[in-house]
Each structure stands twice: as C-alpha cells, then as structure tokens.
Chain A
Amino acid sequence: MILKAENLYLKYGKQPPVVKDVNLSLTQGEFMVLIGPNGSGKSTILKSLAGILKPFSGTVYLNEKPVHQYSKKALASSMAFLPQSPLVPEDFTVREIVSFGRNPHLKWSGRMTSRDWEIVDEAISRTRLTVFQNRRINSLSGGERQRAWLALALAQKPKVLLLDEPTTFLDICYQFEVLELIKNLNTTLSLSTVMVLHDINQAARYANTIAVVNQGRIDASGAPGNVVSTQLLADVFKIKVNIIKDKVYDCPFMIPLESLRK
C-alpha cells in the first residue's frame, strides 16, 4: 500500500464533519478515481490525502508512515497535489512555473542544480510542452495550461499524484487529451494516482478502481465493471440510466435517461 486512509473523519472549522469514517487504499501504480455528487466530500478527501486538511480523527499513511509525521518538504517530494484551479500568475513562463516543482528538493538558498533543470526539462517534454516552454502561462489555452500544472507536479518527482477535477472548464478534446496524458504518466512511470472526476464514463474508462463518495462516506469501490450499476447510479446520483458494455475498452458505459430527483 503506497497510500492508505484509515477511519478518516474530516471537517472544516467547527462545522459538523463532512467526511465520515472513510477508508481507502491505493497500491503502487494504481489509478483510482473518486466520483460522487456535488458536495459529497470528494475534494475534501483528496485534500486530506494531500496533507493539506488535517483529519479531525483518523490517519492518512504514505508508505506506511502517517503524513503528518512527514516534514512539509519531504511530503511534497513524494506526493504532488493539483487543486481544481490553481491561481495563474502573470509574467511567468511555463518553464519557470514548472521549475517551482523542484522547490521541495531545494536547500534553503534555493539554488537549482543542472540535475534539477534536467528534471524540469523531462517534465516539460513528457507533457509535450517543449514548444510552449518559454510562453507565459497566462497566455496558454485551458488544455495547455492544465498540462503545465501536470508538468509542475511531475517536476516534484512524486510517487503519488492527487488531482482535483483536472478536466473541468476544458472542452471535450482537451478533456481527453489531459486524461490520456494522466493515464500515460500513470502507466509509464507507474505513478500511483487518485483523481476526482465528474464524468462517470470517463472514470469507468480510465480508472483501475472507482470509489463512489456519497454524503461523506464511500458507498462502493472496486473495478469499474463491478461498481457502475443502474442501482448505484440511481441511489447515489438520482438518475435513471442504461448501462451498456464498451467492447473496445472493456468497461461499462452509461447512458443517462432521466433525473429521479422529484
């Protein structure tokens, strides 16, 4: 188990817990997708896996060691987290932004060695940003920008990648481009990945494991073929669907019929 959450309870401030008794485990190289309705607690779970939100009770383990026992930099050297919409600063080129990914590995003085720059170059070429690397990040299109954030995460040289809805605000072509890139990084680098997604069909297509988050709990988890069912989608998402089998990718494909929320 590279990443494991045990009996996780999460809350913001003094409000009642939004996530209750969540258990998750991710094996090396696994691609897990969290799906669930709005406000179900998916992003909250992800933030706590990233060590940004401290659990009110329960523990997240990275490589069998609780994340809160890691120093901030040590954690960032093993795990990268991309929030849903990072702020886009002006006046920074893609290459400069990607070089920030080396921050957890640098000494206090912040000197980048030639090895650090090699890693930056590799992250840029893996995300096919070489031609854009000297463009300012705020001049890029949404899909290119998302690839730049992925390159930033890759420059951290993480073992685990956490992504919060990386395809929101992108058109369908960029959505697939970004998802294919993530899947490609996941398989070629054996980079263990947890991603929050809204699109159930995309989740079924790319994930090894789907975990369904509903009202702060995990209602079901497992291989897409076992999890995505008419009954579950009716219970959790309140929609009536038809499920067919995608023979090319060997995964379920759902066709929404109507809302069950009356």
Chain B
Amino acid sequence: MLAEKKNISRRLLILLILLLMCVSGFIISLKLGSLNLSIGQIYAALFKIARGPHYQIIFNIRLPRILVGACVGICLSLSGCLLQGIMRNPLAAPHLIGVSSGAGLAGVVILILYPGIYYLLPPVAFTGALVTTMLVYMIAWQEGINPSRLILAGVAVSSFLGAMITGVMIFFPDRVHSVIGFMVGGLAARTWKHLNIILPYTLIGFFLVNLTARRLNILLLGDETASSLGVHVERTRLFFIALSALLAGSAVSVVGLLGFVGLIVPHITRLIIGSDYRFLLPASALMGASLVMVCDTISRIALDPVEVPVGIIMALLGAPFFLYLLRNRMKVYDTES
C-alpha cells in the first residue's frame, strides 16, 4: 500500500511541477516581447486597472496569441498521446492519420488558388483534416482496424496529397510565399477569433480524454484481453481516432502544420511520468501547452524584429532535448519491442 501511495504521489508531484511550468510559461510569454513588460504592468492590464498601450499589447496581441498557443499545444499533445496508445506504435502522430496532409492541401488550395477567401482557411483546413482521416480509416477498414494497416494507409494517402500540395506550389511559384507560414506552423497575428475556434475542442477533448483514460489503459493489454474485459475494441478505437482527428484538426486549422508537438510531447512526457494514461494525458496537455508558449516566446524575441515561425524553434529545441532524454532514459524503450 505504501509503495503504491508513494508512486501515485510522485506522479501527482510531477503534474504539479508541470502545472507550475505552464503558469510560469504563461507569465513569461506575457512579459517578454519587442517590449518587455513588468509583472506590475501585466497585473494592471489583466485586471483592467490601467488602460493604456500596455493594455492594448496584452489584451489585443499577446494574450490571445498565448492562449491560442496553449490550446494548440494541448490539442496536438493529446491527439498524439491517443494515437500512440491506440495504435501501440511510438511513431504514431496526428500527421500519420492524414490530418496534416488533409489540412495542408486545404491550406494550399485556399491560400494559393483562392486567396480571396483566405478568411475561410480554418474551417476548410479543419474539414480537410477530418475528411482525410475518415478516408484513411475507410481504406484501412477490413472487418476491423489493424493499427499497422491504418498507419500504412495514412502514409500512402499523405504522400498522395503531399504530391498534390507540391504540385500546386510548383505551378504557382509566385504565390508560394503566402503558404509557407501555414506549412511550417506559426502563431503570428493570432487573435481572439482564432481562440474561439479552437477553445471548444480543447475543452471537450480535455474532458473526454481524461474521462476515458481507464479504457486506454486497458487497451494496452492487447485487443483480445481488452475485449474479454468488456471493452468494445473497434468502437473504442474509432472513438479515439475521431477524437484525435478533431483535436489535431482544430489545432492545424488555426496555426498550420505544427507537426512536431504531437509526436514528441507525448514521448517526453512518457519518459517523465510513465505510460499510465490517467497521468500521461493531463501531463502531456500541460507539457504541450508550456512547450508551445515558451517556444513561441523565443520565436518572437530570438531574432527581433524578425519573427521565426514557432514550428522551426520547436523542432530546433525540441528534437535535441528529446534525443537527450531518449539516451538518458532509454531503458523505458528497451522493454518495448
């Protein structure tokens, strides 16, 4: 009993630390930028004590952008976590089920072929992501879904759509510039409007996912064992694929193809807190939110006044950090196989 309690309190402590990380990431992002603000100025602006240029910067520029970043981090991390769990494949990530290529094609079509309706980008990209995932799922279906078949179908469909994306870009070289930001993923000029798009999915996703952590844990025992424990394996898998497509789709439709978060954050978190989904899911959400907020802050100040898209910063910092964790705590992965 004692060891069990210790184990649980250790993981609760990690969650608490991640929460603190998330809050400090939030404050640092509010503080730093082309204009550094003091805690007092942030406080005054947030609680509407003083209205002035600082209030404008915080309320109209930084706050919505930071919140969008946090939501995107949460959505993509949860999505990756779900997919790695139900596919039992460490390489599973939102882009593998066609979310990125679907949203990417939609983005390219809107931004290059129909730039006049650029404001429709989020809903169209979202639809593209979901339709592609559905297509991948249907192609892979054969009296049930075999995870490897789903991943292979996802890879094939993604390459097909990838070719179309590249094709469109090659035929309109003069307009490529407008779409590059979307393909890398960035948070520049994201406003309350964008937050309104993504926030509902973030909240729904967060609650649903944490309610169903137990089922994900049981699926870790294999399809047959899960089934004999009363879990509808196919139905559960479809539910989680749909949920992760919704989460990732809402994220990429707002910030573009920020692919890296969904793959790496679940792994980093797993190395720290273990693979029990009751802890892994909330921890990944917090980790994803902090990582996106911090990387976005760096992207704003690193080469000020030029802004580096957050996707680039994320890959440049995240990949080495992940490799460091992997080499130091590789044991976790040795037992898999």
- Chain A positions within 8 Å of B, measured between CB atoms, are 13, 47, 50, 52, 72-73, 75-77, 79-83, 86-87, 89-93, 95-97, 100-101, 103-104, 109-110, 133-134, 138, 152, 156
Contacts and interface: CB of A to CB of B under 8 A. Distances in A.
A103 B230 contact: yes
Given A90-B275, A90-B335, A92-B276, A103 B228 contact: no
Contacts of B225: 81-83, 86-87
Nearest to B11: A91
A89 B229 contact: no
12 contacts: A52-B228, A73-B230, A77-B230, A83-B222, A83-B228, A86-B221, A89-B217, A93-B4, A100-B218, A103-B229, A103-B230, A138-B335
A72 B232 CA distance: 7
Given A76-B228, A100-B221, 19 more contacts: A47-B224, A50-B228, A76-B230, A81-B225, A83-B222, A83-B225, A83-B228, A86-B221, A86-B222, A86-B224, A86-B225, A89-B220, A90-B335, A95-B4, A96-B276, A103-B229, A104-B230, A109-B211, A134-B1
A156 B222 contact: no
Contact of A104 (B3, B229, B274): B229
Nearest to A12: B143
Interface string B112-140: 00000000000000000000000000000
Interface in B177-228: 211, 214, 217-218, 220-222, 224-225, 227-228
A52 B222 CA distance: 13
A257 B166 CA distance: 69
Residue from B142, B218, B224 having most chain A Cβ neighbours under 10 A: B224
B313 to A, nearest CB: 31
Interface of B: 1, 3-4, 7, 88, 142-143, 211, 214, 217-218, 220-222, 224-225, 227-232, 274-276, 332, 335-336
A87 B227 contact: no
B230 A75 contact: yes
Contacts of B274: 90-91
A101 B221 contact: no
Given A90-B332, A92-B276, A81 B220 contact: no
A89 B4 contact: no
A87 B231 contact: no
Contacts of B232: 72
B221 A72 contact: no
| Leading 3 A-B pairs by shortest Cβ distance | A76-B230, A104-B230, A91-B274
B88 A92 contact: no
A33 to B, nearest CB: 19
A81 to B, nearest CB: 4
Contacts of A109: 211
A106 B93 CA distance: 31
Given A52-B224, A104-B230, A89 B275 contact: yes
B187 to A, nearest CB: 33
A13 B229 contact: no
A100 B221 CA distance: 10
A139 B153 CA distance: 36
B227 A52 contact: yes
Contacts of A75: 230
Contacts of B88: 87
B233 to A, nearest CB: 9
Contacts of B224: 47, 52, 81, 83, 86
B3 A103 contact: no
Given A80-B228, A83-B225, A104-B229, A92 B217 contact: yes
Nearest to A47: B224
Contacts of B214: 100, 103, 110
A92 B227 CA distance: 19
B4 A134 contact: yes
Residue from A73, A86, A97 having most chain B Cβ neighbours under 10 A: A86
A81 B230 CA distance: 11
A79 B225 CA distance: 12
Nearest to B275: A91
A47 B227 CA distance: 11
B14 to A, nearest CB: 13
A69 to B, nearest CB: 15
A103 to B, nearest CB: 5
A90 B228 contact: no
Contacts of B222: 83, 86-87
Contacts of B229: 76, 100-101, 103-104, 152, 156
A72 B276 contact: no
B40 to A, nearest CB: 44
Contacts of B221: 86-87, 89, 97, 100
A76 B232 CA distance: 11
A78 to B, nearest CB: 10
A75 to B, nearest CB: 7
Contacts of B336: 90
Contacts of B3: 93, 134
